[in-house]
């Protein structure tokens, strides 16, 4: 097959697109990695230069010194879309990716169970929210990525002692959220592709684990600021993290259906939807939607197959049917 123009891979991370690019090279397909941490575009340039754009922008970019990517990505994605270039995970998906507050409204609108949460933009509102929430609580930046900036509090005095020093993240907005202890310390990530179920993995961490690892709600609070490598941690890396167990998992049908509904409503073509089962009540709580999917590390060993070729097939399909 031949493409009229290269595949554009929009990604500022040095490693996350490595396996995808290797698959495209194997197929001898032209592509260009677009590092939008140092980038420019001219709105008057109306020539489509790519057959398809694969958006792999992550809100964790600001933890790698690439804070300019967070809001620039919307403009550059909109530009490509305005040229008629197919965009996998378009600007609509990216808005949900980078805003946990938008995700909450999506959960609420679709009747999906999620941890009780109040969205705030000032430290005063954190304390006011306590009338509606129960401890333990998490305070998490609205724009986070990979568990960055999440803090757990087990009592009001502990929260009051630091409330004026909480980091609300790049957009000055935070979530005050009831902490749901996950059954067996486990979370489940359901991967979707092209509007359907692809696979699921179950991640289990030991109770003594002390690092930031997305999915966010199983994060422990580090005693010191986490290293850059920890801030970039996510399920794709978890196979190689000490103490983390990652395995293929078959979620119940209703959990799969809910994950697919959420992904479609968020305009996500490829990504992961995360949930946990509450230890206290045995109920499923959804808490995060990700429009950046790197797939699980060492997929053939974990899943018994590699999803990257399926992703490449989808990219080519979108490029050829534009």
Shared-domain flag, residues 123 and 172? yes
The model's pLDDT over 306-318, given as tens digits with 9 standing for 90+, comes to 999 999 999 999 9
Shared-domain flag, residues 164 and 199? no
How many structural domains are present in the chain?
A: 3
Q: In what order do the strands lie in the sheet with 137-141?
A: 117-120, 174-178, 137-141, 151-153
The model's pLDDT over 111-134, given as tens digits with 9 standing for 90+, comes to 999 999 999 999 999 999 999 999
Residue 128's domain spans which residues? 117-178
In a domain, 112, yes or no: no
Residue 294 CA from chain centroid, whole number: 10
217 has pLDDT over 50: no
Average pLDDT over residues 22-47: 96
Beta-carbon contacts of 3 under 8 Å, excluding residues fewer than 6 positions away, are 29, 30, 51, 316, 319, 320
Cα(173)–Cα(140) distance, rounded to whole angstroms?
9
CATH of the domain at 17: 3.40.50.20
pTM of the model: 0.88
Average pLDDT over residues 198-208: 85
Beta-carbon contacts of 274 under 8 Å, excluding residues fewer than 6 positions away, are 187, 188, 189, 190, 215, 217, 286, 287, 288, 289, 290
Cα(221)–Cα(211) distance, rounded to whole angstroms?
7
**Please, which residues bridge with residue 118 across strands?**
176
Shared-domain flag, residues 273 and 186? yes
In a domain, 189, yes or no: yes
Shared-domain flag, residues 249 and 293? yes
**Please, which residues bridge with residue 191 across strands?**
199, 272
Cα(153)–Cα(276) distance, rounded to whole angstroms?
20
The model's pLDDT over 136-167, given as tens digits with 9 standing for 90+, comes to 999 999 997 656 678 999 999 999 999 999 98
Cα(275)–Cα(247) distance, rounded to whole angstroms?
15
Shared-domain flag, residues 159 and 238? no
Cα(152)–Cα(57) distance, rounded to whole angstroms?
27
In a domain, 69, yes or no: yes
Shared-domain flag, residues 292 and 219? yes
Shared-domain flag, residues 207 and 299? yes
Cα(283)–Cα(276) distance, rounded to whole angstroms?
8
Percent of the chain scoring above 70 in pLDDT: 87
In a domain, 221, yes or no: yes
Q: What is the pLDDT of residue 205?
A: 80
245 has pLDDT over 80: yes
Q: How many CB atoms lie within 10 A of CB 188?
A: 24
Phi, psi torsion values for 144, nearest 5 degrees: -120, -90
Helix (H) or strand (E) holding 79: helix 69-82
Residue 66: pLDDT band with limits 50, 70, 90: confident
Shared-domain flag, residues 169 and 204? no
Structure tokens at 118: 């109040």
**Please, which residues bridge with residue 87 across strands?**
53
Q: What is the pLDDT of residue 92?
A: 96
Shared-domain flag, residues 123 and 230? no
In a domain, 286, yes or no: yes
The model's pLDDT over 38-65, given as tens digits with 9 standing for 90+, comes to 999 999 999 999 999 999 998 888 888 8
């Amino acid at each position: 097959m031949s493409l009229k123009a290269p595949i554009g891979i929009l990604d500022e991370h040095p490693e996350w697109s490595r396996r995808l690019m290797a698959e495209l090279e194997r197929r001898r397909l032209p592509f260009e990695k677009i590092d939008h941490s140092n980038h420019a575009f001219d709105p008057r340039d109306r020539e489509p230069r790519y057959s398809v754009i694969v958006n792999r922008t992550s809100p964790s970019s600001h933890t790698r010194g690439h804070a300019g990517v967070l809001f620039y990505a919307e403009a550059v994605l909109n530009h490509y879309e305005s040229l008629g270039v197919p965009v996998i995970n378009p600007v609509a998906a990216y808005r949900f990716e980078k805003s946990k507050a938008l995700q909450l409204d999506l959960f609420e609108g679709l009747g999906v169970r999620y941890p009780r949460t109040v969205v705030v933009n000032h430290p005063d509102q954190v304390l006011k929210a306590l009338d509606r929430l129960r401890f333990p609580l998490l305070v998490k930046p609205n724009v986070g990525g990979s568990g960055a900036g999440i803090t757990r509090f087990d009592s009001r005095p502990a929260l009051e002692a630091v409330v004026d020093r909480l980091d609300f993240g790049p957009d000055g907005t935070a979530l005050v959220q009831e902490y749901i202890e996950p059954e067996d310390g486990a979370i489940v990530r359901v991967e979707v592709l092209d509007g359907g179920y692809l696979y699921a993995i179950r991640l289990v961490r030991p109770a003594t684990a002390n690092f930031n690892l997305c999915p966010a709600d199983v994060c422990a609070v580090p005693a010191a600021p986490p290293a850059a490598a920890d801030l970039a941690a996510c399920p794709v890396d978890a196979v190689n993290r000490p103490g983390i167990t990652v395995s293929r998992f078959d979620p119940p049908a209703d959990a799969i259906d809910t994950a697919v509904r959420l992904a479609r409503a968020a305009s996500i073509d490829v990504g992961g939807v995360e949930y946990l089962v509450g230890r206290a009540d045995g109920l499923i709580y959804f808490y995060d939607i990700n429009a950046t999917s790197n797939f699980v590390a060492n997929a053939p060993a974990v899943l018994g197959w590699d999803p990257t070729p399926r992703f490449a097939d989808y990219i080519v399909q979108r490029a050829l049917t534009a």
